[in-house]
């Protein structure tokens, strides 16, 4: 497996683009994106677990019921959430508009939105710009970049990746883009994520691979403890690589599923690093749990703790907050067997052994915790299972950003 350029346009047969159409007053950034496949795609998706679901989520769930897609249209600047029947009508209209440009069915188009909740979507702006959007799509990195910019909101970094691997003697590519910076907490992290592949898979196995990848990536990211109304991840597979259809678990499926997981982990880490106001990427690496579910739950508790996050911002080796978070996670473990380490490119320091303090250099620990990427490594000595969860520190800027988000 190797990295390639082009994001969602790296796989054969996909085009993408993005334009400005004026969805959010006062903004001139691109705000309307389109991803299109020249051929029908097998598709799978996962959506927010929030009981309050945005109109595009409801419409896309309806359209994904067939397991087939040709396109995704997405906007930023307005979430089209909590907007009632007019919001549903607007989401359906977005699909109709995109479908009309390519003479396909509206049910073959997924819809996604991100931005402010509770504000009617200015569908007229999209109607007047849909032809320009269709004309903008390209099968190269520039098309991918334009689409990616169009779905960003408070993101400060572009988050995308693409990989190439060989399956059955054929070169297969998987590409993805994600937006997400705040309102991020499992399950899933608050995000819009679109993944394309030229592999040929059955719908059942595509869905299985997606769920496995999401569980070990986007469901292990936390920034601020809030789960959005609009979370969406969609994967489309058009079969253009020419590999034999992957219709059963085996070597080919294993290779694809592993590559998809690697891609999603990269995107998830990038989201955590770009957390609103974040100065550090924090990886919680928990080992020695009785099972993977228990390991994940414990690691999430640590990564989501506001006190742990604040300590990371201050480069304060306050390991007691780590043990405290483990203790309220609702998972049985033995604190008296628990060890805690802080690590980064500057080194590693043991700060807790057997649930108790050990002598360590505060100066060394501060140097370790002052790096851009830091790790909290926890050894439970209670089993063989492990899990990694990604988060970030909690800075003053998080409050500044969210104190005036609507303006």
Q: Which residues contact 174 (CB under 8 A, 6 or more apart)?
A: 10, 11, 162, 163, 165, 195, 196, 197, 199, 256, 259, 260, 263
Q: At what angle do helices 55-64 and 84-102 cross, to 10 degrees?
A: 50
**Residue 83 annotated in active site:** no
Burial label for 310, CB within 10 Å (0-12, 13-18, 19+), is middle
Contact in structure between 73 and 108 (CB atoms under 8 Å): no
Most distant pair of Cα atoms in the chain: their distance = 70
The residue annotated as part of the active site, out of 190, 196, 229, 232, is 190
Q: Which residues contact 358 (CB under 8 A, 6 or more apart)?
A: 350, 351, 352
Task: Spell out the alpha helix ranges (H) of 73-162.
Answer: 84-102, 123-127, 130-136, 141-151
- Which residue is it, tokens 């080992």? 287
Task: Spell out the alpha helix ranges (H) of 103-183.
Answer: 123-127, 130-136, 141-151
By annotation, the residues acting in catalysis are 190
């Amino acid at each position: 497996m190797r990295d390639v350029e082009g994001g969602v346009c790296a796989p054969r047969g996909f085009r993408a683009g993005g334009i400005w159409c004026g969805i959010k007053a006062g903004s001139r950034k691109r705000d309307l994106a389109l991803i299109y496949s020249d051929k029908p795609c097998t598709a799978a998706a996962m959506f927010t677990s929030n009981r309050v679901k945005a109109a595009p989520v409801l419409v896309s769930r309806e359209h994904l019921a067939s397991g087939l897609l040709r396109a995704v249209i997405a906007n930023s600047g307005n979430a089209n959430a909590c907007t009632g029947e007019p919001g549903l009508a607007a989401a359906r209209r977005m699909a109709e508009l995109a479908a009309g440009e390519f003479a396909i069915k509206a049910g073959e188009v997924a819809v996604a939105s991100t931005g402010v909740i509770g504000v009617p979507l200015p569908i007229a702006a999209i109607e007047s710009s849909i032809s320009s959007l269709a004309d903008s799509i390209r099968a190269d990195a520039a098309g991918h970049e334009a689409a990616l910019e169009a779905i960003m909101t408070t993101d400060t970094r572009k988050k995308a990746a693409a990989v190439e691997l060989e399956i059955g003697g054929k070169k297969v590519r998987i590409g993805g883009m994600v937006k997400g910076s705040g309102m991020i907490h499992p399950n899933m992290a608050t995000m819009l994520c679109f993944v394309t592949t030229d592999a040929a898979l059955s719908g059942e196995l595509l869905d299985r691979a997606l769920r496995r990848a999401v569980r070990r990536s986007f469901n292990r990211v936390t920034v601020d403890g809030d789960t959005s109304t609009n979370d969406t991840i969609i994967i489309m597979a058009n079969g253009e690589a020419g590999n034999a259809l992957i219709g059963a678990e085996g070597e080919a499926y294993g290779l694809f599923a592993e590559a998809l997981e690697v891609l999603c982990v990269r995107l998830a880490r990038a989201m955590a690093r770009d957390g609103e106001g974040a100065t550090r990427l924090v990886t919680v690496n928990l080992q020695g749990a009785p099972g993977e579910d228990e390991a994940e739950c414990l690691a999430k508790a640590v990564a989501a703790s506001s006190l742990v996050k604040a300590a990371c911002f201050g480069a304060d080796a306050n390991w007691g907050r780590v043990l405290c978070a483990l203790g309220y996670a609702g998972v049985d473990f033995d604190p008296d067997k628990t060890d805690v380490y802080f690590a980064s490119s500057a080194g590693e320091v043991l700060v807790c052994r057997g649930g108790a303090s050990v002598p360590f250099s505060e100066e060394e620990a501060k140097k370790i915790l002052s790096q851009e990427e830091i790790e909290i490594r926890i050894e439970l000595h209670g089993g063989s299972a492990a899990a990694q969860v990604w988060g970030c520190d909690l800075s003053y800027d998080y409050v500044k950003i969210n104190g005036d988000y609507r303006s």
